[in-house]
Structure formats: C-alpha cells, structure tokens
Structure 1
Amino acid sequence: MRLLHTSDWHVGRTFHGRPLLADQASVLGGLADTVRTHGVDAVLISGDLYDRAIPSPEAVQTVTRALEDIRAAGAVIVATSGNHDSATRLGAFGGFLAAGGLHLRTSPTRVAEPVLLHDADGPVACYPVPYLEPEIARSAWGLDGPASHQAVLARATDDIRADLAARPAGTRSVVMAHAFVTGGSAAGSERSIAVGGVESVSADVFEGFDYVALGHLHGRQTVRERIRYSGSPLPYSFSERSHRKSAWLVDLDADGAMRAEAIDLPVARPLASVRGRLDDILVAHADLADHYLEVELTDPVRPVDPMRQLQRRFPYAVKLSWQPEQDDPRSLRDRAPASGAMSADDELIDDFLSECRGSRASRHERFLIDGALAGHRQAEAAG
C-alpha cells in the first residue's frame, strides 16, 4: 500500500497581509502530480485543511479543486479536521462524499471506525482521528477526571486498538491524528492548543500501529520511525524559511514493514531575511526581488517611509523592523546628561527620542525643548 501523508494546508491564510490562495493552489497541485508519478493509493490529510473555521468562498474553491485533482489522479482521500477547521462544516455530507472516494472524519465518536483500504496484500485499516478538543471529547465519552490532550488521545487509541484486535490477523494499521506529540518541534506558525498549560501528548499513546500520520506542527519531522509529521506544504512564518516543504511517501508491505521517503513539493515563492542599512540593501540583493522578504534595518536614525522604498525594489517585502547598530537605546536612560542637570520632563523627552530614533536630542533640539518646557511651566504658574 502506497500512501501520501500531508497536513496543515491552512488554505485561506495570509502572509503578513498578503493573500496566499494562488501560492496554495500552485503547491497543492503538486500533490496530484505526486499521486500520478508515484502511483499513490491513498492521500492522508491530517487536519487543518482551512485556516479558519468559516473559510472564504475562494478558500473553499481552492480546497475543492485540490481534492478533485487528487481524486482524478487516482488516489482515495482520507482527511480529518484540525484545530483551525470547523469539524461540523468540514464533515457535512461526509457520508455522500465517501462514496466518491473522499473520506472526511470529524467526529470523536467515530475514531474506531476505520476507512478500509485494500491492495494485493490485503486490508489496511486507516483510523482518522480528528483534532480532539479535550473538554468536548471528554464529555462525548463520559470520561472522569480533568480534560487533557493526553487523556482523550489515550482513550481514542485504546478504542482503535480494540477495533483492530477484532479484525482479521495481518490487517495493517494507520492512525491519523492532529496533536502536539512529545518530541516534535514547533515551527512558530502554529496556533497553541494548550489546555491548563499543557498541549503535548506522549508518543507512547501511538505505539503498536504500523504508521502514524500526524498533523499540527508545520515542520516535517520524525518523532519515531513510524510516527511522523509531514509539516505544512507552504511556509507560514519566516522561522520556516529554511524548511524544504514536502510530503511523506509511505509504503506498507504485507507484513506491516514501513518505508518513508520525503517528496519535495513545489516552491511557490521562497522566503528570505536581510539585515543592514537601507541604502545598502536597496543596491544589493537583486536575487531576492521575487522572495517574500523580512528586513531588519540598522540605520542609526530611522529612515523615512522605509517600507515604501523597499517595496519599489522588492515587491514582496512584507516585514520590517528597525534595530540600529549601537547600544540598546534603552540603556541611554541610565547615562548622565552631557552637561548640566536635567529635569524629569527633560529625561522623559530624551527617553522618548532615544526609543523612537536611537539618539538623544541634539544641542539645537535641546534649545527648542528647553524653551517649550519653560513656556509650559510659566503657563502653569500663571494659571
């Protein structure tokens, strides 16, 4: 059985205000190409197809086209809801869609009902576990004790093991889940799912299955040999600029032996970060004109309207910060003034200028400030 494991599409997300639908459509089209090229039997999508519980019509159209292309390429699709999805909306008409080869599972009460896949070696029981909101799942199952991710996922996998034990010997098993499993590393663009300060679950709850296809963390990684995150198909933060986005191509042999290979996905638009003075950046980095760009300016004085200047040269500059190349301006508060004693008002104004532009008032500015303060004090005394 050949599976393609993907997750965390987040269709509809923006990147620092820029819409990503065209980029997402381009990259997700690569999944259908992979199905054709590698003869994939089933595509597993482990949650977060959408970025919002109520996606825009354009986002729905993008996901629909991607799923249609995958089915047209010949693969069955098994998908679960993630913490960004609306389980109710995503699962609507699931029974009808299953007849066409699209299996959407969003209810915690159905975790032990597998999607049965078949090849020449026999059945593969695929158990799609949606994102389990601890309190909702605890209530649905009537669990005692406090709600936690560990408790509800342990209950889900216990039910799955019971169902698997009742199936014919040799039935291979796949579990899909959307969770933060201990040993995984967050990329920085995931939404926290912490409950009571704890959002992770032990990898031990997934022991004994032939393959575990995880979603939620956006970097591709292996927690254990048979427990893996595919990561998101696009980078959703600059902390992911070094990621090579991909999906796992997983082969399950007749005896449950597993092999996994990372299949790179198309790069719609690469990410880059640069640091330096504005004038220097504007005359360099010609190779970054088509990148989403994060810029850290080091000019000693904050330039005027720097983003506008950057976007003339780099149309996809989307993030800007200013860190002047000098001592932390906040440390200026602790320095003695160059001459004379300063009032509390003088110090407050100097602190404000230091924070905003990285330097204290000049002698000429000090003359104007002193005059303004003196006039203010006279008005207060007269009034």
Structure 2
Amino acid sequence: MPKFLHTADWQMGRTYSRFDTEDSAALVEARYEAIERLAALATEHQCDAVLVAGDVFDAQTVSDRTIRRVFNATRNFEGPWVMLPGNHDAALAESVWMRAKRLGAVPANVHLALESGVTQLPEQGIAVLAAPLTQRHTYGDLTQPFDTTETPSGLLRIGLAHGSVQGVLPDDIDSTNPIAPDRTQSAKLDYLALGDWHGVREINERTWYSGTPEPERFRNNDAGYVLIVDIEEPGATPKVTRYETARYQWHQWRENLSVPSDLDELLNRMSQLPEASVLDVKLDGTLTLVGDQKLTDALSIAEARYRSVTCDRSGLQLEPTDEDIAALRADGYLGDVVQELRENQRANDEGDDAEVARDALAILAGLLKPKDPEVAK
C-alpha cells in the first residue's frame, strides 16, 4: 500500500516586517521547525515519499544560508522527496533551484521536478507527474499534458502542481496558473497534490490542497497541517488524513464594545488562548475609564504571555461615567479639562482630533488615578 506525505507552500525566507525583531525571528524559525516535524511524521508513519507542491522558497533571492537550512531540515526523512517549483520559486533559467544545485545543498534523496515530466519512484510504487511553473504567472493549464503522459503500469499516477483550480477558489486568485477541476478524471490520476492555497482544502476525493505547514497570516483557512495519503492500489480511493504541524496559532479579532460585558467577554477569550498565539485585535465602540484601564492591564499581561499581541484602539471612545469622574477627584479646572476632552471626542467622532482627545483623556485619567487603593474606596 503506497503512502506519501503531501505538503506545500513552505515559503522559506519569508520575513515578518510588521513584527518586532524578537517575534519576527521566532516566526521565521517556526517554519524550519515545521519542515523538521513533517519529516519526522513521514518517518513515524512509514511514508514512502514526501511530495512538496510548490513554493518551497518565498523568493528567488533568498540567502544561501536559507537554502542550506531548508535541505538540512529534511534529513529526518531518508526516503525520496519530490519538490516542485511554484510561483514564488519558479524554475527560471537562473533560479533559487540552480543556486541550490551549485551550492551542493540538494541531498541525493531529493528530486527537483524542474521540468514537466514524470519522476518515477518504482520502489515506492509511485509515478509523479509534475507540472512545475517556469515563470511566476501562466494563463494555460500546465497539468493538461497529464492527460497524455504515460506511466508504467502498476505504479500510482500522482499529479503534482501549483495553481488555482478553476471555478472553485475565490475569483481574486482564480486568474493565473489555472488547473482544470476534473484533471484527475481526464488524466486518470490516483491523486492530484496541489499547492498555492494556504489551507487544507478538498476539491474532490482525489484532489487536495495541503496548505502551508506553518500559518503565516491572519486568515481562517485551516493552515498548519500536512496530509498523509494512503492508496492501496492504482484506481483505489485515496485515504487522506491531515496532521497538525503548526507551532503558532494566528488570531485576528474585530470587536465592537458597547457595554461592560463586551469587554469582559473579550478579556476572557484573550486569557484562554494558548501561549503560542499571534493575536491582532482591532476595537471600536466605547469604554469607561475603568474599562480602559482593565483593557490596558490585560493587554500588558497578554503581551508577556503570547508570541505577539497588537491592538488597534483608534476606533474606541472613552466615555467616563460619573463614578469615573468622582474617582478621579477632578473638580474645578481639571474637571473642565475632562469635560472638554469628552466633548472633543464626541464632536470629531473619528479622525486624528478624536484620537488625540481620547489619548489625552486616558493619560489624564492615569495621572489622576489614586496610587493608594485605599484612597479610591
């Protein structure tokens, strides 16, 4: 029973400029660890081969060190690897793949499918029909030759391609590198291993996207897995099992706060995240001064606990309650200032003036807040 691991979209060499240096370095390192995990999985589950459906590298210009580290990370699986160029690492005349060869970085058990054709793995019972991208964007279906490509009888016919299955994926990514949705039928493939969509997605029982093994963006599309595929014999229905490989979970929340319970619910959810979380929060609505301080304290705790936490509070307005104002003991001139800042928020609603007024009100509240808890009682 041939068994293989299907993965794609490693995009090694990717950078995370929106994060600070420490977090960026950790997210980069997690991608190498993901390769090591999937290699260990392939060994543990006694896979016959590992198929990588494109975008091993994020760009043609990645460093030599990145190239060497990628191939070093595969060493935990000694069986054959078949790697396909995708749109980020297309098989140009001068490409990252040619540099890897010149560096002598490609292990003997790694097959680079740089040209259309068949990679035969007779000991594993598999024939891999490859459709590598030789430029970043194409407008013809590179898998069409599969229909007339012959393979030895008795070997599984496994297609390996990188692109967009037509009429299935969202329209905004459906224009280049097209793949016919019925290719497994027309080419009599036992399985079509695809890359380009970064989450696990079943197109039909023989056609799957594996997604990226380590999430790299805020998109809820089932990223962070690899697929192990069992096919008893040519023509048999594949058994596809997904295994989680993600180190970090990415969460993006967009919340409107209007009553105190909204904030309580948000902070409760935040406190229950796993430590290996990357969290991006954008808030709008209103908060009392007490609520604003609760949010600030909770974010401080979360920033120390999770991999990365960012919170956009520009859409929030501070609405001090009478109790807030009384607790500040802001009377006379200070009371007038607090009232003026409240009115500036309401008058401007959105924009820089509202943000300045809100920030000033938060700073003033922090300065006036009693330092001795007993004083506030």
What's 2:246 paired with? 267
Within 2, Cα distance between the matches of 1:308 and 1:199?
48
What's 2:62 paired with? 55
**Residues 18-56 of structure 1: per-residue CA shift (max 9 Å, x gap):** 232221122222212211221101000011111222113
Unaligned residue ranges in structure 2 (runs of 5+):
318-345, 359-377
Q: Is the 8 A contact 2:130 2:161 kept in 1?
A: yes
Q: Is the 8 A contact 1:12 1:50 kept in 2?
A: yes
Asked whether 1:354 is paired with 2:350, we answer: yes
In the TM superposition, residue 116 of structure 1 has moved relative to its aligned partner by 0.7
Q: Is the 8 A contact 1:250 1:258 kept in 2?
A: no
What's 1:9 paired with? 10
Aligned counterpart in structure 2 of residue 162 of structure 1, from 133, 137, 148 = 148
What's 2:366 paired with? none
Letter in 1 for 2:6: H
Aligned counterpart in structure 1 of residue 84 of structure 2, from 80, 85, 88 = 80
Letter in 2 for 1:127: L
CA 1:307–1:204: 2 relative to 1, 3 Å: farther
**Residues 194-235 of structure 1: per-residue CA shift (max 9 Å, x gap):** 7xx556432134432111100000110111211110011111
CA 1:152–1:29: 2 relative to 1, 3 Å: same
Within 1, Cα distance between the matches of 2:212 and 2:201?
11
What's 1:139 paired with? none
SS of 1:115's equivalent in the other structure is strand
Within 2, Cα distance between the matches of 1:84 and 1:32?
22
With normalisation by structure 2, the TM-score equals 0.67
What's 2:158 paired with? 174
Within 1, Cα distance between the matches of 2:105 and 2:233?
29
Instruction: Describe how 1:365-376 pairs up with structure 2 within 5 A.
Output: none
Asked whether 1:64 is paired with 2:71, we answer: yes
Asked whether 1:29 is paired with 2:18, we answer: no
Aligned counterpart in structure 2 of residue 237 of structure 1, from 207, 213, 217 = 217
CA 1:176–1:203: 2 relative to 1, 3 Å: same
Within 2, Cα distance between the matches of 1:266 and 1:249?
12
CA 1:56–1:80: 2 relative to 1, 3 Å: same
Letter in 2 for 1:258: T
Unaligned residue ranges in structure 1 (runs of 5+):
136-147, 327-349, 363-383
In the TM superposition, residue 321 of structure 1 has moved relative to its aligned partner by 3.0
**Residues 111-155 of structure 1: per-residue CA shift (max 9 Å, x gap):** 12x1111247xx4221222125387xxxxxxxxxxxx53x242xx
CA 1:199–1:126: 2 relative to 1, 3 Å: closer
What's 2:234 paired with? 255
Identical aligned residues as a percent: 23
Q: Is the 8 A contact 1:21 1:59 kept in 2?
A: no
Q: How big is the alpha-carbon RMSD for the aligned residues of Structure 1 and Structure 2?
A: 3.9
Within 2, Cα distance between the matches of 1:319 and 1:93?
37
Instruction: Describe how 1:74-113 pairs up with structure 2 within 5 A.
Output: 75-87=79-91, 88-92=95-99, 100-106=108-114, 110-112=115-117
Aligned counterpart in structure 1 of residue 194 of structure 2, from 204, 211, 214 = 214
In the TM superposition, residue 67 of structure 1 has moved relative to its aligned partner by 1.9
